[in-house]
Structure 1
Amino acid sequence: MEKVKVGLLGAAFSAELHIDGYLRCQELSRVVAVCDRNLELARDFARRYNIPYVFGDADELFALGEIDVIDICLPNFLHCEMAEKAFSAGKHVISEKPLATSVEEAERMVAAAQKAHKQLYYAEDWLFAPALLRAQELINQGAIGKPLFIKAKESHSGSHSPFAKKLRFCGGGAMIHLGVHPVGFLVALKGTPTAVVAMTTGGGAGNFVHQDMEGEDWAAALLRFADGTTAIAEANYITLGGMNDIIEFYGTEGRLHIDLTMSSPITAYSRVGFDYAVEKAETTIGWTKPAVDERLMLGYIGEIRHFMSCLQQDKPAMKGLRGEDGLEVLKVIEAIYRSAREGRQITL
């Protein structure tokens, strides 16, 4: 079977996460081109990863005939436009989270994929996090009885991206940028909730810490599902000490606690610091939990392999990783924001 030929659109943070996945499934795929409007950044990326074609214009990338799939690793507000152009050029598309900045844009992306008869994959890495895969195995075995309540959150001290500060670029604040992970995981696991109740900080001067952000720096939502299960999804930019991804399951016969980011088998103490502990950690001085293969443990490696395997067979991704799933997640997040604005329960 021929290798899938990939064109990376973007050469910054998300592209670094994805290239690691491609390098670990070279029997399935090959990254043949990278494009970034910062051409020097793209050239450096290509040199480091031995990528033959480098572009500074997305249209040149789309015109490269040998590319099978465009992997969009760009700020949220560019996802829709670039996906539509890629589909028009006859390419499949992988889109980083969130799928778009609005439900309307996500609907356009899904429609464009259907019109072009191409695959739209939604990159939700939590669905391939080994710890969460094992947790779901335990739940399916009946280890905690009937699941009753789930808590899931992602938090850290603030995005590195300047685009995260403006609503027109990001679509919201912490909930759309970070909460998209717990919400996406819950929707993949339980389906669309039937009701949502939420609160957020107010953005700008109404935020706890980040008053230079137009969107909220803290958000939490109660979600009720059709089977009676209740969940809390939380996202915030007020957590110091590194990224904090926690998922808890409570059942009639037991409970599970999953720590995706601070569960390293290494505990370190350093008076002088070192190169890296965990994503978004402000320091490596003192006690830390240095990550071991962080990208594998967060699910990036597994999701890329899954996409490449699906593309070789020209089939949709698993539930939770399809374009329509990314659209459904945005509908839930839109309901969360509406609930917070109107101060009431929203029925979906």
Structure 2
Amino acid sequence: MRIGIAGLGTMGRVHAAAYRRMGARLVAAYDADPAVTERFAGEFELEPAPDYESLLRSVDVVDVCTPTFTHLEMAETAFALGVDVILEKPLALTASEGRQIISAARESGRRLFVAMVVRFFPQYRKAAELVRAGELGRVGVMRLKRVAFPPAAGWFRDPARSGGMPVDLMIHDLDYARWVLGQPASVFARRSPALEGSALEHVQAVLEFPNGALALVEGGWAYPPGYFRTSLDIAGDRGLVEWSSDQPPPLQTLFPKDAPPPALGLPMAGLEEDPYELELRHALEALESGAPFEVAPEDALAALELALAVRASADSGKVVEVA
């Protein structure tokens, strides 16, 4: 399949490098800034597209890495021209726009993959497998953290164009919580006070699930430049799995108290393969074979709705029902 990339900022570069490593047929690139298009195309030896429709007419799949507020138009245009879409998260700015994108894909007969990359990080994936295998017993609490410095690009700092931190950053862990524990019933979130007009934002959210389990999700754009930390821990009545980006091992597991630990400690997951490469390889293989995506469009919509519920709760100070 011939692949084109639209939007040549940070994520466009990350995706292009992943395609190159996997030997995919990346052929063309487009950015709203012609100078950026020329530089990027030269660096990756691609055809520079003069406009978005020209890009679409030269490819079978378009990887859209443009700002969130453009996703609806970019996706609908691609589907109208018969091109499959890989779309960087979040799906859209609003649930209504997300449903429009999914509807456009369905009506066109083309396919949509939304890049929720945390599902493809080996340590997060292994933790989910342990839960599903019953190794931790009945899960009571999940804690997820993703905190960073505020993005430099101006559109990120405008919630009307990015959705704000809950929709752009926190959505990763909200999607993961839902992937592992199912659909929550409600969310309650609090936002740390920030200076008027500041891009700094830090939110803590409690997701309650129908079976009584809780997910405590923390996200922030409030740290010094260059700071990015993530962590997870999942506690069940038979064991605990935890991981932090600050610790050397990719995953730590405390084994069930009623089972002996293994005789030899071995790493349970590694990072030999780049998660973005794993994600994009999966998307291309599913497109070629017709197999289902691991992240269905409806999953991406549900994650967006959950992020919007977190934002609404943080704004109102009230519990928001989401089930």
Q: TM-score range by the shorter chain?
A: 0.7 to 0.9
Q: For 1:33-73, what per-residue CA distance to the aligned partner results, in whole angstroms no more than 9, with x for missing partners?
A: 1001222222222222222x212411221222xx1111111
1:249 aligns with 2:234: yes
1:63 aligns with 2:57: yes
- Contact map agreement 1:144 1:250 (CA 8 A) in 2: yes
TM-score, normalising length from structure 1?
Answer: 0.81
Q: For 1:199-246, what per-residue CA distance to the aligned partner results, in whole angstroms no more than 9, with x for missing partners?
A: 1246651xxxxx433xx6111211012332210111101234621111
Q: State the aligned residue count.
A: 302
1:33 aligns with 2:28: yes
1:82 aligns with 2:69: no
Q: Give the aligned partner of residue 149 of structure 2.
A: 157
- Contact map agreement 1:192 1:332 (CA 8 A) in 2: no
Unaligned 5+ residue runs, structure 1? Answer: 206-210, 266-292
In structure 2, the CA distance between the partners of 1:110 and 1:78, relative to structure 1 (3 Å rule), is: same
Q: Give the aligned partner of residue 106 of structure 1.
A: 98
For 2:299, which of 311, 325, 344 is the aligned residue? 325
Looking at structure 1, the residues matched to 70 and 193 of structure 2 have their Cα atoms a distance apart, in angstroms, of: 25
- Contact map agreement 1:71 1:95 (CA 8 A) in 2: yes
Looking at structure 2, the residues matched to 175 and 146 of structure 1 have their Cα atoms a distance apart, in angstroms, of: 28
Looking at structure 2, the residues matched to 145 and 218 of structure 1 have their Cα atoms a distance apart, in angstroms, of: 32
Q: What root-mean-square deviation, in Å, do the aligned CA atoms of Structure 1 and Structure 2 show?
A: 2.1
Cα deviation, residue 313, structure 1: 1.4
Q: Give the aligned partner of residue 337 of structure 1.
A: 311
For 1:137, which of 122, 125, 129 is the aligned residue? 129
Q: Give the aligned partner of residue 289 of structure 2.
A: 313
Looking at structure 1, the residues matched to 125 and 78 of structure 2 have their Cα atoms a distance apart, in angstroms, of: 32
Q: Give the aligned partner of residue 226 of structure 1.
A: 210
Cα deviation, residue 295, structure 1: 9.7
Q: Give the aligned partner of residue 38 of structure 2.
A: 43
Looking at structure 2, the residues matched to 295 and 76 of structure 1 have their Cα atoms a distance apart, in angstroms, of: 30
- Contact map agreement 2:56 2:81 (CA 8 A) in 1: yes
- Contact map agreement 2:155 2:162 (CA 8 A) in 1: yes
- Contact map agreement 2:185 2:207 (CA 8 A) in 1: yes
Q: Helix, strand or coil for the counterpart of 2:203?
A: strand
Looking at structure 2, the residues matched to 248 and 203 of structure 1 have their Cα atoms a distance apart, in angstroms, of: 28
- Contact map agreement 1:35 1:55 (CA 8 A) in 2: yes
In structure 2, the CA distance between the partners of 1:91 and 1:161, relative to structure 1 (3 Å rule), is: same
Q: For 1:128-160, what per-residue CA distance to the aligned partner results, in whole angstroms no more than 9, with x for missing partners?
A: 101112222333444322211101121111113
Cα deviation, residue 104, structure 1: 1.1
Q: Helix, strand or coil for the counterpart of 1:176?
A: helix
- Contact map agreement 2:144 2:217 (CA 8 A) in 1: yes
Q: For 1:262-284, what per-residue CA distance to the aligned partner results, in whole angstroms no more than 9, with x for missing partners?
A: 3457xxxxxxxxxxxxxxxxxxx
Q: Give the aligned partner of residue 212 of structure 1.
A: 198
Cα deviation, residue 181, structure 1: 0.6
TM-score, normalising length from structure 2?
Answer: 0.87
Q: Give the aligned partner of residue 258 of structure 1.
A: 243
1:13 aligns with 2:4: no
Cα deviation, residue 120, structure 1: 0.8
